[in-house]
Structure 1
Amino acid sequence: MYDLCAIGDALVDFIPAPQYTPENPVYQCEAGGTVANLLTAGSKLGLNTVFVGKIGADCMGELVRNKMQGCGVSMEGCVMDPMHFTTQSFVSLGENGERSFSFCRSFGADIWLKEDEIPMKVLEQSSMLGFSGMCMTDDPVRQATWTLLRAAKRINYRDKLWQNEKEMIHIMRETLSYVTLYKSSEEEAFLLTGTEDLRKAAKIICGFGCRDIIITLGQKGAYFYSGGKDGLIPAYRVEAVDTTGAGDSFFAAVLHQIVQRGGIEKITGTDYSDILKFANGVGALATTKRGGIKGSPTLREAEEFLKLHNNEISS
């Protein structure tokens, strides 16, 4: 039995190495991807996780597969593609650790997952299903994702991967009736709803069929809306080195806390303050190391961080 099954992208991130300069750019290779980061972060926190997706049958694919398995993620739903290369992302970092992405993906393996390659038995063995907006940008992975969502009864926006904003908004809104817990950044939520008011945005997203809403606000913390209750939980102050995968570690921590409380059906609006305090700590700690998978903390590391920093939440 799995706590979390997630479909989407597992890829290779090329991130600036410590000796990187604009004149002499040097990159280091790390396994990553929204869903890969989420699952490995969840596994490190103690969740039983399983990946559904496609990676290339190449050296980079082996790197990703071995890294994820090494973190405890089941690769039962992983398809190795001999025709397409493992998707690649080049990550540029600003002085404050914020990222920008360039993708090598038009022939990347992750978008070539087909409906008949979906292991439905894995879904049947899972308590929660997660997906990323990355798997809704192109067919055939888009149709494969719809197959999973419809069988079962969260979303990243990367402008360079969609044809245009209008397409993204239409497709993402269509998925929301299948979503119980929605999580995105404030930029993505505002784009999806057309308003920059957090409470209004959350209510609009709920109107599309979601029950609970979480919106991350970077250094300001995280906002939740559930059952008419809402709140903004401040972030922890840390020295950010690399924010790659921090949001995925944050969401993995949210799901860990939901499992600890007996599942999403038992969660109410009063639970989210404590859930987000824990998740903010995990997300903050993830920014202090380089790499999405490598940077995600273990449960012990997260608990030690929270003990040390519980009284240092920024206001």
Structure 2
Amino acid sequence: MGRTVGQAAGEHDGRPVPLHRHDVVVVGSANADLVVQVGRHPAPGETVLGSDLAVHPGGKGANQAVAAARLGARVALLGRVGTDGHGRLLRESLRRDGVDLSHLHDTPAASGVAMIAVGPRGDNSIIVAPGANSLLSEDDVRGAAPLLRSAPIVSLQLEIPMPAVLAAARLARRAVLNLSPATPVPDELLALCDPLVVNEHEAALVLGGMGDAAQQAKALLALGPRSVVITLGADGAVTAEDGAVQPVPSPRVAPVDTTGAGDAFAGALAWRLARGDALADAAAFAARVGAATVRRPGAQNSYPTLAEVETL
């Protein structure tokens, strides 16, 4: 029987010996989430009253790292945080969940901040002030080359500068890119994605709103990535590779807060791909993680353990 990704040829005490120190290396952002609950989202120029402000650890990179770590993955985060109170909050949260912070650099600047309004149906609107995240450089990435080259999966997002993202993808054995926030990316980066992960709104922005999810997945695949995943919220996801599109269902749950659910999906997907799962199987597991996440408020605070996912 062949070995899965992450197993060595031999065994120790009957258990596989890891070939690498980390399953997933996340290169990305860490933000403090400033969250307010609102009865409805304001129209342009309108003021609405909200709940008391809550501050939680977040950021797409940190979220993905925590989501994977809670499921049992060995995870490292490459990024930058400020030397302010928010930076200390982010470091402590990540450390608590067992994320390797040896490549999370302190920066004499404000940490990244996301201002999040959560509506009555769990829907949210988000504005991000990148702060220290915007200072992650190609040199930072090249300095972590042995880390990136050794991991089965490098997980990327776009809350950090594009040159750092591209440098990480070039070094990765397999790069998973969550194209969020949606923005034009170089053809070279698309060609390195395996998979490119977008939600249905991001897919529409990239493609100009064409078609249903299956058509969008094929159209995205034609842009150059080796594989594609489109997340569809409560409707699960679709995967596309080698020209074939496969629907992926999601458990039905009553959503409380969708903040960070896409990051939970991406973190879970990266971990299962690192384990050697097929893309559709990894996406099906990630959809269950996303469904478990939206049942609780907040981002990282809502991320499930493997045991909680298995109850769905």
Shorter-chain TM-score range? 0.7 to 0.9
Work out which of the residue numbers 218, 240, 244 in structure 2 matches 1:225.
240
Work out which of the residue numbers 285, 303, 315 in structure 1 matches 2:310.
303
For residues 288 and 172 of structure 1, do their structure 2 counterparts lie closer, same or farther at Cα, with a shift above 3 Å needed? farther
**Paired position in structure 2 for 1:122:** 147
- Partner AA of 2:203 in structure 1: A
More helix by share: 1
Matched, 1:177 2:197: no
Matches within 5 A, 1:234-313: 234-260=249-275, 262=276, 267=278, 272=280, 274-304=281-311, 306=312
CA contact (8 A) 1:20 1:27 kept: no
**Paired position in structure 2 for 1:52:** 78
- 1:42-78 alpha-carbon deviations (Å, 9 max, x no partner): 0111111110111101111010011011111111111
**Paired position in structure 2 for 1:74:** 100
The worse-fitting range, judged by mean Cα deviation, of 285-294 and 230-239 is: 230-239
DSSP-derived class of the 1:2 partner: coil
| Structure 1: tracts of 5 or more residues without a match | 136-140, 160-167, 307-315
Work out which of the residue numbers 47, 58, 62 in structure 2 matches 1:32.
58
DSSP-derived class of the 2:23 partner: strand
Give the Å deviation of 1:24.
Answer: 5.0
For residues 24 and 98 of structure 1, do their structure 2 counterparts lie closer, same or farther at Cα, with a shift above 3 Å needed? closer
- Partner AA of 1:131 in structure 2: L
- Partner AA of 1:187 in structure 2: H
Matched, 1:6 2:26: yes
TM-score by length of 1: 0.82
* Counterparts of 1:288 and 1:51, CA distance in 2: 26
For residues 149 and 24 of structure 1, do their structure 2 counterparts lie closer, same or farther at Cα, with a shift above 3 Å needed? closer
* Counterparts of 1:197 and 1:239, CA distance in 2: 25
For residues 179 and 277 of structure 1, do their structure 2 counterparts lie closer, same or farther at Cα, with a shift above 3 Å needed? closer
**Paired position in structure 1 for 2:3:** none
CA contact (8 A) 2:239 2:246 kept: yes
The worse-fitting range, judged by mean Cα deviation, of 56-65 and 193-202 is: 193-202
* Counterparts of 2:186 and 2:198, CA distance in 1: 12
Work out which of the residue numbers 118, 132, 155 in structure 1 matches 2:178.
155
Matched, 1:210 2:225: yes
Give the Å deviation of 1:209.
Answer: 2.5
Give the Å deviation of 1:245.
Answer: 1.0
CA contact (8 A) 2:26 2:78 kept: yes
For residues 151 and 278 of structure 1, do their structure 2 counterparts lie closer, same or farther at Cα, with a shift above 3 Å needed? closer
Number of residue pairs the alignment of both structures matches: 280
| Structure 2: tracts of 5 or more residues without a match | 1-20, 42-47
**Paired position in structure 2 for 1:109:** 132
* Counterparts of 2:98 and 2:22, CA distance in 1: 12
Give the Å deviation of 1:302.
Answer: 0.7
For residues 78 and 20 of structure 1, do their structure 2 counterparts lie closer, same or farther at Cα, with a shift above 3 Å needed? farther
Give the Å deviation of 1:19.
Answer: 11
TM-score by length of 2: 0.83
**Runs of 4+, deviation exceeding 6 Å:** 18-21
Give the Å deviation of 1:288.
Answer: 1.3
For residues 230 and 210 of structure 1, do their structure 2 counterparts lie closer, same or farther at Cα, with a shift above 3 Å needed? same
Give the Å deviation of 1:178.
Answer: 1.2
**Paired position in structure 2 for 1:163:** none
Matched, 1:192 2:206: yes
- 1:2-26 alpha-carbon deviations (Å, 9 max, x no partner): 1111111111001126999943541
CA contact (8 A) 2:190 2:224 kept: yes
DSSP-derived class of the 1:129 partner: strand
